[in-house]
Amino acid sequence: MNIIELCKYRETCAICGKQMKLSMHDNLFTFAANIADACLTIRGATLARNLSKEIQFVFKPDGTYTHNKQANLRFFTVYVNCIECTTGQFSKNDNIIFHLKDSSIKTLNKKLCAYSIELSLNKDGSFVSEISYETIKFHDNDFFYHINVDRHNEKSYIYSGRLNGKSTDIFSLDVDHVINMRNLHSIEMVKKKIGIYNLFS
């Protein structure tokens, strides 16, 4: 998949059905990611700087990039998530990768539909991009349902159970492959997917 296809890999939230948005989080820079003219544009400035002196990178579908000034940036992570379901959950100090990768007691009552795209820039003007992590975390009043996918290690992790149950009530399964999340368009489909793994585990 080229960079634009990666950005549109999931277009709507599996939880609420709303449009997914691009976002970036970094402690040192203020970044914004947008798709314009069939390219991914990342614009940013260090927090100390005036935004008019900003850095701009343009990533093209053919795997090449341009930037407006010499900037020693070789790696970006772009997040695609549903703003509606994750409002207030990502702050500057939040470890978003953790929210994407893992489940813990603290994440049981979170809702999150998100994935991350990693871009590695080469000096010759080319770049490599791939989806690194993907998650759907959902809960209702009684139960939680999580699927986390780690594409680096080609593993997936499933957790479900009662929100206020004992830890022994939690169904937890490590899977040695990447679960196809792209075709999960609703929470009913997520529950069904988890149910199938539960049945055969």
Of 6 and 82, nearer to Zn ion (C-beta) is 82
What order of strands is seen across the sheet that includes strand 155-162?
A: 21-23, 75-81, 112-121, 127-139, 143-150, 155-162, 171-175
Q: Are 200 and 171 in contact (CB under 8 A)?
A: no
Name the residue nearer to Zn ion (CB basis): 78 or 136.
136
Contact 58, 44 (CB under 8 A): no
CB of 85 to Zn ion, least distance (A): 3
CA angle (132 as vertex; 72, 119 as ends), nearest 5: 25
Q: C-beta of 11: minimal distance to Zn ion in Å?
A: 12
List residues near Zn ion by CB under 5 A. 13, 15-16, 82, 84-85
**Of 16 and 35, which CB lies nearer to Zn ion in the complex structure?**
16
The 10 Å Cβ neighbour count of residue 119 is 22
Measured from the CB of residue 109, what is the shortest distance to Zn ion in angstroms? 16
Determine what percent of the chain falls in helix, strand and coil, rounding each to the nearest 5. Answer: 20, 40, 40
Q: Residue 17 or residue 195: which is nearer to Zn ion going by CB? A: 17
Task: Compute the least distance from the CB of residue 139 to Zn ion, in Å.
Answer: 13
3-state SS assignment for residue 72: coil
Considering the complex, what minimum distance in angstroms separates the CB of residue 16 from Zn ion?
A: 3
Q: How far is the CB of 143 from Zn ion (least distance, A)?
A: 18
In terms of CB distance, is 107 or 129 closer to Zn ion? 107
Read out DSSP for 103-155? --GGGTT--EEEEEEEEEE-TTSBEEEEEEEEEEEEE-SSEEEEEEEETTTTE
Nearer to Zn ion, 11 or 26 (CB): 11
